Amino acid sequence: MHVIFFLITFCALVNGDCIFRSNDSKVLQDKIKKWKIYNNTLTRNTSTSIYQIGICLAPNNADIHGAVIQKENNNTYVLGKLNETNLVEGANFILLTYHNGTRYSNQCYNNTRSASIFFICGQNKENITVLEEHTTTDEHCNYVFEVQIPEMCPVVPQEKKSMSGGAIFLITILCLASAYLIGGFLFMRIKRGARGVDQIPNFEMWRRLGHLAADGCDFCCRCNPNTSRQGYFLDETGPDTRSDDDILSP
């Protein structure tokens, strides 16, 4: 049994898979395997170090067990191993932690290094944020990174754009008017032999309707109507037979 377990573990490491703990959720493991960055390496440069972060992959095969590699000056440290992996899911994040990295020397109680990666919702998966690292001025014993994952963002349903009632009404009116004009034009031209404006269907009705509309506008919009005053009648067709006294009398 020990030999079989060793062979399975070795094959998994060669293929770049994480060896998760038995209590880690299988559903969560399957979720991260669907990400585009799974089995890929991310690189982050800081003022003091270069980090190569493998997502269940040994970066550049530098170390068959190493999952996160730190290059600082002329030194190279393994911050965690593929066969010591822990996976936890929070309310809005997933935490992947690699344990059993290179041991500290006279620092951090001589414990081994570890690296944690927070996966959060975001579209810029190339933007890796270093939240914690061990430096001469910031002596954290654990390395913490933050990576944005587009697949973790909730899918926003797109609203189906539909035409309003007014637009449908206008389109219906235009279609009916077009059918009326084209059909009437063909009927008048082919059946009646009409030419010119006489080809317009119901031409006389539309002309009378236009005259009525013009009369209505003239009646409503006339500002100074030419009407006679009460008790005064002006007949411009014949001579004025009234005397001046008649005109001036009340």
Q: Is residue 57 a contact partner of residue 41, using CB atoms and an 8 Å limit?
A: yes
Please report the pLDDT score of residue 152 as a whole number: 92
Question: Could you report the per-residue pLDDT of 145-181, keeping only the tens digit for each?
Answer: 999 999 999 887 777 777 788 888 899 999 998 888 8
Domain count, the chain: 2
How far, CA to CA in Å, does 118 sit from each of 17, 66, 224? 18, 18, 83
Q: Is residue 2 a contact partner of residue 10, using CB atoms and an 8 Å limit?
A: no
Do residue 88 and residue 190 come from a single domain? Answer: no
The enclosing domain of 103 has a CATH number of 2.70.130.10
Please report the pLDDT score of residue 7 as a whole number: 38
Do residue 87 and residue 204 come from a single domain? Answer: no
Q: What is the CB-side half-sphere exposure of residue 79 using CA atoms within 13 A?
A: 26
Do residue 30 and residue 128 come from a single domain? Answer: yes
What is the value of pTM for the model shown?
0.59
* Confidence bin at 142 (pLDDT 50/70/90): very high
* Confidence bin at 235 (pLDDT 50/70/90): low
Do residue 133 and residue 214 come from a single domain? Answer: no
Q: Which residues contact 8 (CB under 8 A, 6 or more apart)?
A: none
Do residue 46 and residue 140 come from a single domain? Answer: yes
Average pLDDT, the chain: 79
Please report the pLDDT score of residue 13 as a whole number: 40
Decide if 142 is inside a domain.
Answer: yes
**Domain membership of residue 191 as a residue range:** 186-218
Decide if 5 is inside a domain.
Answer: no
* Confidence bin at 117 (pLDDT 50/70/90): very high
Of 150 and 127, the one with more pLDDT: 150
Do residue 38 and residue 98 come from a single domain? Answer: yes
Do residue 32 and residue 127 come from a single domain? Answer: yes
Do residue 47 and residue 140 come from a single domain? Answer: yes
Do residue 50 and residue 131 come from a single domain? Answer: yes
Q: Nearest to residue 31, comparing CAs of 78, 89, 76?
A: 89
Do residue 58 and residue 130 come from a single domain? Answer: yes
* Confidence bin at 227 (pLDDT 50/70/90): low
Do residue 31 and residue 125 come from a single domain? Answer: yes
For 7-25, what is the mean pLDDT?
Answer: 59
Please report the pLDDT score of residue 224 as a whole number: 58
d(CA 131, CA 144): 5
Please report the pLDDT score of residue 104 as a whole number: 92
* Confidence bin at 232 (pLDDT 50/70/90): very low
Other beta carbons within 10 Å of 15: 10
Domain end point (choices 152, 173, 194): 152
Please report the pLDDT score of residue 230 as a whole number: 52
Decide if 230 is inside a domain.
Answer: no
Please report the pLDDT score of residue 236 as a whole number: 53
Q: Which residues contact 131 (CB under 8 A, 6 or more apart)?
A: 118, 144, 145, 146
d(CA 51, CA 146): 13
For residue 192, is pLDDT > 70? yes
Of 136 and 98, the one with more pLDDT: 98
Of 185 and 112, the one with more pLDDT: 112
Do residue 138 and residue 37 come from a single domain? Answer: yes
